[in-house]
Amino acid sequence: MTMPQQDTNTSRGRQGLENNSPSVRLRAALAVGTSPDEEFIDLLIERCAVESEFFVRDMLTWALTRHPSSTTIPRLIDELGSERTQARSQALHTLSKIGDRQAYSAITRALLTDTDDEVARSAWRAAVALVPEGEGPELADVLATQLGRGERETQLSLSRAMIALGETAVRPLRTAMMDVDPHVRQHAIATERLLRDPDAGFEFAIEEAKRIVALGTNSQDG
């Protein structure tokens, strides 16, 4: 018995996306995105959770953005509860690329404070991209609880997220500048400096913040 054409196409798509060669997987994702078919949505999301190559994951995300958001968003939101950290991270990244603010409510405090840095960073980026008008202050308060967390890349991601919120971030940043934890104070001072002077550069702002904390002064005194 001959397989229906749709089943044949889906089977070929799966074979391409699961191929051992990253270049073959890349071409398969490109092909699916070029000719969107809702039959591939679950497969694309499934591959996002396990794909090892960044450039292929990026193409998978692009392919998903080519499909109707009314279909992709609910399935991506389901992925936010996955036990796989990459599944959560990539779903957040894809939601941010789709850009539908209706997905914002799915970016919970648990995701914004996820113990996995990559998931948290993806949540921060998605949240500031999708936050509806009027909800910025609450988001800034949650983001401020993560100040001082992680290594340079994680701290830079958080600073960028808070800076993207603009003046909304000033109050929680200034509160954090008086925190008992010196790492929190340093990160808050550096972020507030970058908010005022985006050209200062993160490394310079952090080093200046360290000096300010060591001297026991505030950012205005520094």
pLDDT tens, position by position, 86-105: 999 999 999 999 999 999 99
Q: Which pTM was predicted? A: 0.87
Query: How far is the CA of 89 from the CAs of 11, 96, 109, in angstroms?
Result: 27, 11, 14
Region 11-130: CATH code? 1.25.10.10
pLDDT at 2: 44
Span 150-170, mean pLDDT?
A: 94
pLDDT at 121: 97
pLDDT at 219: 46
pLDDT at 217: 59
Q: Any idea where the domains of the chain sit in the sequence?
A: 11-130, 136-222
